[in-house]
A and B are shown apart, each in its own frame.
Chain A
Amino acid sequence: MDHKGFAELKEFYALSILDDEQKSEFEEYLRLHPEHRAEVDDLISVGDLLALSPEELEPPASLRSSIMATVKAESRESEAASRQRSRQSLWERVGDFSRFGRIAVGAAAILLIGVLSWNSFMQRGEIQDLRSAAESKQAAEQAQGSSIESIRLEGAATGKVEVVKLEGEQAVLVAEGLTPIDKDKTLQIWVIKDDVPKPSGIFNPGEKLRSVAVGHSLKNADMVAVTVEPAGGSQAPTTDPVMVAKL
């Protein structure tokens, strides 16, 4: 296409009414002569205005329902596929984590001093009260000679992290002495079951003792991991685990 052809067709191009062959030739000319791009963009903007000129009509509600049903279904499929990718990714990362000996075993675990009924503390939603309540429960357990199952998480992170199983396979994560992280980050707990990491709570590290409810049951779970995630947490792990415990 030469300049004459360009000049003849530019309005038609702006109105999107060239056939495919003409359109390709026109765009090739435009690619070779970028100095005409602004002029064509101006014409396109004018042509676009025509889209606003028809009398406004209300689409039927059923159209929205139909479109959104498809969109939601595709969104769910995409989310499932993403979860699947994350599962594989995390599992691989956990494998690497162990294989290359990045686990810094050493720090003495902190002991959670008690156990509290999961249901009651969920209803109260008072995590801060957990420790004191747990202490009482532990004292009672000890008095009865029963034991508390706690599992230490190990990894590259400094500090001490432990998961303590509660009644009904629920659990509390207790941490102390963890190095602070960036303000726009958080630590996130994952309960991994059948290769599926489920987001199970977030917490911020610090020198002081912190206890966090683990948001998923540990029943039949394979592993608990902690990763560093953007503030607010993630739906799937985005980084390698800094602490891991096999259950």
Chain B
Amino acid sequence: MAGRESQYLLMADEDLMSMAEEDNSQAFGVLYDRHSRAAFSLAYRMMGDRQSSEDLVQEAFLKVWRSADRYRVERGSVRTWILSIVHNRGIDQLRATASRRRTQDRVEATTQKVQHSDAFSEAWRNSRREQVREALQTLPEEQLKILELAYFSGYTHMEISELLDLPLGTVKGRMRLGLKKIKNYFDDQELAVRG
């Protein structure tokens, strides 16, 4: 690896974003290497197939590249920003699809067929992932289900209400409680929610 590229590996995401804003493709490449797994994993969880997930990640990262100047460090980490772009684009695509897929079932059915990452080199990221998973495990199934349908599949509260045949108030209540419990889990563990 060239010396300059090696230097990029030591830089903070925020610095790399500043360089990407100046059209530095090498800096952007390092950002991609750091966050593409999380982005692809989220995309796959939302879209349910590899091709759509690749399309979504490509679209999202090119938006990151072209809109690097819109990143604001005070609004959160670079990773959060990248994942929010993946999420928002994914929601748009899901909603634009006439026959929206129930991705949760599709993912559960196909998870065993895909190759899992062996690049668990960045320990803190995995630690963060584990923290989130542990937090989600504290949720009752009915709350988790509603959060997943909303966040990963882009269903509105009314759609979830129809889908699960639940009163609208119940859907709202479970969603509220679910988010609150996740926050409480992090507070109890004295972990930062933002990161």
B36 near A57 with CB under 8 A, answer no
CB pair A54 B45 closer than 8 Å:
yes
Residue from A42, A58, A75 in contact with B25 in the complex, judged by beta carbons closer than 8 Å: A75
The reply to whether B111 and A55 form a contact with Cβ atoms under 8 Å apart is: yes
Q: Is the CB of A67 within 8 A of B37?
A: no
Pairs across A and B, CB under 8 Å, 29 listed: A11-B172, A15-B175, A17-B155, A47-B179, A49-B132, A49-B182, A51-B83, A51-B151, A53-B129, A54-B41, A54-B152, A55-B41, A55-B45, A55-B116, A56-B116, A57-B44, A57-B117, A58-B37, A58-B40, A58-B119, A59-B37, A59-B39, A63-B57, A63-B58, A64-B33, A67-B57, A68-B25, A71-B25, A74-B65
Question: What's the dominant secondary structure at chain A's contact region?
Answer: helix
Q: Indicate if the CB atoms of B179 and A11 lie closer than 8 Å.
A: yes
CB distance from B63 to the nearest CB of A (A): 11
User: Are A71 and B175 neighbours in the complex by a CB distance under 8 Å?
Assistant: no
B42 within 8 A of A: yes
Q: Write the nearest CB–CB distance from A24 to chain B, whole angstroms.
A: 15
Contact digits for A97-122, partner B, Cβ 8 Å, 1 yes 0 no:
00000000000000000000000000
A50, B147: Cβ atoms closer than 8 Å: yes
- Which residues on the A side are within 8 Å of B157 (C-beta)? 12, 17
Nearest CB of chain A from residue B160's CB, rounded to whole Å: 9
Q: Which residues of B contact A (CB under 8 A)?
A: 23-25, 28-29, 32-33, 36-42, 44-45, 50, 53-54, 57-58, 61-62, 65-66, 76, 80, 83-84, 86-88, 91, 107, 111, 114-120, 126, 128-129, 132-133, 135-136, 147-148, 150-152, 154-157, 172, 175-176, 179, 182-183, 186, 193-194
> Please, which residue of chain A has its CB at the minimum distance from the CB of B133?
A53
CA A45 to CA B182, docked complex, whole Å: 11
| Complex Cα gap A12–B38 (Å) | 23
Q: Of A46, A56, A72, A79, which contacts B182 at CB under 8 A? A: A46
A57 to B86, CA, bound (A): 15
On chain A, the residues within 8 Å of B65 by CB distance are 70-71, 74
Report whether A67 and B58 are in contact in the complex, using a CB–CB cutoff of 8 Å: yes
For A48, give the chain B residue with the smallest CB separation: B80
Q: Check if A16 sits within 8 Å of B84, measured CB to CB.
A: yes
Please tell me if the beta carbons of B36 and A64 are within 8 angstroms of each other in the complex. yes
Cα(A54)–Cα(B87), bound, Å? 12
What chain A residues lie within 8 Å of B111 (beta carbons)? Answer: 55
Chain A interface, number of residues (Cβ within 8 angstroms): 39
A56 near B83 with CB under 8 A, answer no
Partner of A46 from the list B66, B91, B183 (CB cut-off 8 Å) is: B183
State which of B61, B80, B126, B193 has its C-beta within 8 Å of the C-beta of A67. B61
Counting chain B CB atoms within 10 Å of each CB, the highest count among A47, A52, A55, A71 belongs to A52
What is the minimal beta-carbon distance from B24 to any residue of chain A, in angstroms?
7
A36 CB to closest chain B CB, in angstroms? Answer: 15
A48 to B156, CA, bound (A): 17
Q: Given A46-B193, A49-B193, A17–B38 Cβ distance below 8 Å? A: no
A60 on the B face (CB < 8 A)? yes
Q: Do B179 and A46 touch across chains, with their CB atoms under 8 A apart?
A: yes
Contact among B115, B154, B155 with A57 in the assembled complex (CB-CB below 8 Å): B115
B32 and A67: CB pair below 8 A?
yes
Given A51-B42, A51-B84; A72-B114 close (CB under 8 Å): no
- Ranked nearest first, the 8 interchain pairs of A and B with the lowest CB-CB distance are A54-B45, A59-B40, A51-B83, A58-B117, A75-B25, A54-B41, A45-B193, A78-B23
Given contacts A50-B151, A57-B115, 14 further A-B contacts (CB under 8 A): A11-B179, A16-B87, A17-B154, A17-B155, A46-B183, A48-B194, A51-B80, A52-B38, A53-B132, A54-B41, A55-B45, A57-B37, A58-B115, A59-B40
